[in-house]
């Protein structure tokens, strides 16, 4: 599990205040927001955030994954575990899968803004973000990361203008961070990936261990 600390409650989840520090990735064109500060009282409307799910709504078991697009352990989970999970449990109607964002940094937030730009493309773009994680993060240069995220969005079929609107959507960025904060506090999430099986919290694990837990739930 990635143990990079984040605050799920209290004063803030932030590295910079939205509306204050923005990182300009294209001179004289667009700017992408840094991580917003969100107070514990809440200053953003999260009612429009779409819950990203796969599988049957009435599946007997619900598996929720808390993950960050910049977390290497999350990328490994999606490489080594998720495909088998999807094939054996999600696609067969046994498990409803819920994906919830965690933001350690502004780059994970930027990636989420791309992935969520068209909700129907979310899981396809997520697969690309995890598979190419090392490439798009590169050496950590913000301008380079922004451009590589744009390229992933274009390859995934996003229209350039729509993607720019998503990347620079201040209200959406603030809402996503507030939503993450609410969820992480509610489910006591302190690192990624964190898995909840019918609300019961589990750490990162290999496929065989996850399979055993799911089978026990299904048999129970």
Where residue 42 falls (left for φ over 0; alpha for ψ -120 to 50; beta otherwise) is: left
Candidate ranges 20-24, 62-66, 170-174; pick with highest mean pLDDT: 62-66
Range 100-127 average pLDDT: 96
CB 194 within 8 A of CB 71: no
66 part of a folded domain: yes
Identify the helix (H) or strand (E) that includes residue 125.
helix 122-131
Q: Which of 107, 103, 101 is nearest to 51 (CA)?
A: 101
Instruction: Express each pLDDT in 120-166 by its tens digit.
Output: 999 999 999 999 999 999 999 999 999 999 999 999 999 999 999 99
192 part of a folded domain: yes
154 part of a folded domain: yes
Q: Specify the pTM.
A: 0.85
Domains in the chain, number: 1
- Please report, to the nearest 10 degrees, the dihedral formed by the alpha carbons of residues 199, 189, 72, 148 taken in order: 100
198 part of a folded domain: yes
pLDDT at 106 over 60: yes
40 pairs with which residues across the strands? none
Other beta carbons less than 10 A from residue 216's beta carbon? 11
105 part of a folded domain: yes
14 part of a folded domain: no
Q: Which of 200, 193, 192, 195 is nearest to 217 (CA)?
A: 200
Q: What is residue 36's predicted lDDT score, i.e. its pLDDT?
A: 61
pLDDT at 13 over 80: no
Please count the residues of the chain: 220
Instruction: Express each pLDDT in 17-57 by its tens digit.
Output: 333 323 333 333 456 766 565 544 456 899 999 999 999 99
* Separation CA 14–CA 148 (nearest Å): 23
Instruction: Express each pLDDT in 76-103 by its tens digit.
Output: 999 999 999 999 999 999 999 999 999 9
Q: What CATH number corresponds to the domain at position 169? A: 3.40.30.10
Question: What Å distances lie between residue 79 and 43, 73, 96, 120, CA to CA?
Answer: 36, 10, 19, 21
7 part of a folded domain: no
CB 61 within 8 A of CB 197: yes
Q: Which of 13, 74, 84, 63 is nearest to 43 (CA)?
A: 13
36 part of a folded domain: no
What domain range is 141 assigned to? Answer: 52-219
């Amino acid at each position: 599990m990635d143990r990079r600390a984040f605050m799920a409650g209290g004063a803030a989840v932030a590295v910079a205040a939205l509306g204050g520090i923005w990182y300009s990735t294209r001179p004289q064109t667009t700017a992408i927001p840094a991580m917003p500060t969100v107070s514990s009282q809440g200053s953003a409307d999260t009612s429009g955030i779409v819950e990203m799910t796969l599988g049957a709504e009435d599946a007997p078991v619900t598996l929720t994954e808390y993950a960050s697009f910049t977390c290497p352990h999350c990328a490994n989970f999606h490489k080594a575990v998720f495909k088998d999970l999807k094939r054996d449990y999600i696609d067969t109607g046994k498990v409803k899968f819920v994906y919830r964002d965690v933001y350690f940094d502004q780059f994970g937030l930027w990636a989420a803004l791309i992935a969520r730009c068209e909700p129907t493309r979310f899981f396809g773009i997520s697969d690309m973000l995890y598979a190419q994680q090392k490439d798009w993060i590169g050496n950590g240069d913000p301008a380079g990361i922004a451009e590589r995220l744009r390229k992933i969005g274009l390859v995934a079929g996003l229209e350039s203008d729509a993607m720019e609107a998503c990347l620079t959507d201040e209200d959406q960025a603030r809402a996503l961070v507030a939503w993450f904060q609410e969820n992480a506090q509610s489910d006591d999430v302190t690192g990624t990936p964190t898995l909840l099986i019918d609300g019961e919290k589990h750490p990162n694990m290999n496929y065989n261990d996850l399979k055993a837990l799911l089978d026990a739930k299904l048999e129970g």
